[in-house]
Amino acid sequence: MKSHQESPQDLVSQKHRGQKMIWHPFTQMKVGEHDHPLFIERAEGSFLFTPEGHKIFDGISSWWTCIHGHSHPKLTHALASQAAKLDHVMFAGFTHDPAIELCSRLHSWLPQNLSHCFFSDDGSTAVEVALKMAFQGQQQRGLTHKYKFGALHHGYHGDTLGAVGVGEPGNFYAELFSPLLLKCERLSVAEDPRRIVHHQENDLDSVLELDRINVQSFFAQFGNELAGFILEPLIQCAGGMRMWCPETLEEIRHQCDQYDVFLIADEIATGFGRTGTFLALDQTTVQPDILCLSKGLTSGVLPLSMTWATDAIYDLFLGTSESGKAFLHGHSFTGNPIACSVANASLKLFDEEPVLHKSQTLSDVLRTNWGTLSEMPQLTNVRTLGTIGAANFKSMNPGPGETKSATIGQQIHRKLLKEGILVRPIGTMLYLMPPLSTQPDTLKEAIFVIKNALKTL
Ligand SMILES: *Cc1c(COP(=O)(O)O)cnc(C)c1O
């Protein structure tokens, strides 16, 4: 029985028991000494703090979510005041100001053909919504032979089964689930040589030509069967920070038009200033049919996502109640008012601070400083896109489940945590993706520490 007076020892053992129950994501729970999860007590700006007061630079924005830095006062204020007013209401048959404000505020930042928005809770559900919307939309316009999806090799779109089905089969052991997955055809695109610091000028033409031929033959083969084609514009993040060509994206858009395929842009990682522009798509001429947003939407404060669609898609779902055409999808927390309020406060910062200006300054500082990593003999393919810097460890090809590749990433992760920097390499790929509000000097200092750590590895 729980007593009324808990002694400090009780609390310690309770904490110990509770922690042993927690099953962590992407984690082998049969862990060794080094791998106990680190307690974080509080966070502020670009830094996390342990209970002992150890200060850690959040070099990956807490899984790419936290664009304005942690515990931004304007976001925490929006959260608290909305919570006191309206915490939640079901979204079928009800609506509220925070959701309405969010749609109209965000719309001005998006490609203007996107005029309707469906709310859900996280990146994976935004992708599920997009896939179901594309498929049902094709069915309802009579293109019933379109039952497959197209996607890029190395793509990552989330961990629910629909999203896994359009991700790279070799990533994160997705292959295991193949009997459960939807039908997907995959296209390979080349990396963009312009993103590499000190690249050779003459690589580009042959890369673009090869991509163009691959895109065209892919669509000639599969275009008629595809309901939608999903991709992460300009950079495949979880797939290894693979930066690819805007021209190739434009060719895919063109082919989608030729074959009546809905183009789904997954900007869950790239949105909200991460690549130097509001969307990565803003660096191209492409307007997608469907757009998925999440991670940066509330700057990592609360889970929330949106799937935007065109009038043409929205109209395919209109009919009488008996027509069976409605989009019958929803989640308990759809359009949560507190999350919407935080997203509104986050968007206001894009005007007030202004965030895109900071993102561009940080992008320049990153390219200059991260670029110096190309001097390191262990590294290759040192590249940047906006505020994302990446590089690969040489001569260690990360095969599926390859232990050596995991070891180098874990080694550098542990070593840098001790030095007060959070990086979490994916296989043999080392990267930085700091909050956009990071001070340039903080970023320079972090890269300096990373370089020194690499020297002693
Ligand atoms: C993280 C991510 C997702 C999945 O989002 P969750 O919120 O983790 O479910 C989908 N697509 C991309 C590009 C992502 O980076």
User: pLDDT per residue over 270-325, tens digit each?
Assistant: 999 999 999 999 999 999 999 999 999 999 999 999 999 999 999 999 999 999 99
Confidence (pLDDT) at 212: 98
* Model pLDDT for residues 10-32, shown as the tens digit of each residue: 888 888 889 889 999 988 888 76
Confidence (pLDDT) at 35: 73
Nearest atom in ligand 1 to the alpha carbon of residue 163 is: 10
Spacing, Cα 83 to ligand 1 middle (Å): 26
Using CA atoms, how far residue 409 sits from 378, 416, 427, in Å, is: 13, 11, 6
Q: Ligand 1: residues within 6 Å at CB?
A: 122-124, 127, 156-158, 232, 237-238, 266, 268-269, 294-295
Share of the chain above pLDDT 90, in %: 85
CA neighbor of 280 nearest in space, from 231, 229, 238 = 231
Spacing, Cα 143 to ligand 1 middle (Å): 29
CA neighbor of 390 nearest in space, from 265, 240, 261 = 240
Nearest atom in ligand 1 to the alpha carbon of residue 236 is: 13
Nearest atom in ligand 1 to the alpha carbon of residue 158 is: 4
* Model pLDDT for residues 120-166, shown as the tens digit of each residue: 999 999 999 999 999 999 999 999 999 999 999 999 999 999 999 99
Give me the residue label for tokens 């990373």. 450
Is the pLDDT confidence value at 203 over 90?
no
Question: Are the C-beta atoms of residues 227 and 258 closer than 8 Å to each other?
Answer: no
- Going by pLDDT thresholds of 50, 70 and 90, the confidence category of residue 258 is very high
Spacing, Cα 172 to ligand 1 middle (Å): 13
Nearest atom in ligand 1 to the alpha carbon of residue 155 is: 13
Phi, psi of 166 (to 5 degrees): -105, 5
Ligand 1, atom 7: closest residue by C-alpha: 123
Cα separation of the two ends of the chain: 51
CA neighbor of 345 nearest in space, from 142, 5, 83, 48 = 83
* Model pLDDT for residues 55-108, shown as the tens digit of each residue: 999 999 999 999 999 999 999 999 999 999 999 999 999 999 999 999 999 999
Q: What value does the mean pLDDT take over residues 347-362?
A: 96
Confidence (pLDDT) at 28: 86
- Going by pLDDT thresholds of 50, 70 and 90, the confidence category of residue 173 is low
Give me the residue label for tokens 């991509």. 211
Q: Which of 172, 295, 333 to mutate to test the pocket of ligand 1 (most atoms within 8 A of CB)?
A: 295
Lowest mean pLDDT among 61-65, 202-206, 374-378, 428-432: 202-206
- Going by pLDDT thresholds of 50, 70 and 90, the confidence category of residue 405 is very low
Question: Are the C-beta atoms of residues 155 and 164 closer than 8 Å to each other?
Answer: no
Q: Tell me the C-alpha distance between 395 and 402, whole Å.
A: 13
pLDDT, averaged across the chain: 94
Residue 346, classified by CB atoms within 10 Å of its CB into exposed (0-12), middle (13-18) or buried (19+), is buried
- Going by pLDDT thresholds of 50, 70 and 90, the confidence category of residue 397 is low
Reported pTM: 0.95
H/E stretch holding 208: helix 204-222
Ligand 1, atom 10: closest residue by C-alpha: 157
Is the pLDDT confidence value at 181 over 50?
yes
Q: Which of 244, 268, 424 to mutate to test the pocket of ligand 1 (most atoms within 8 A of CB)?
A: 268
Confidence (pLDDT) at 2: 54
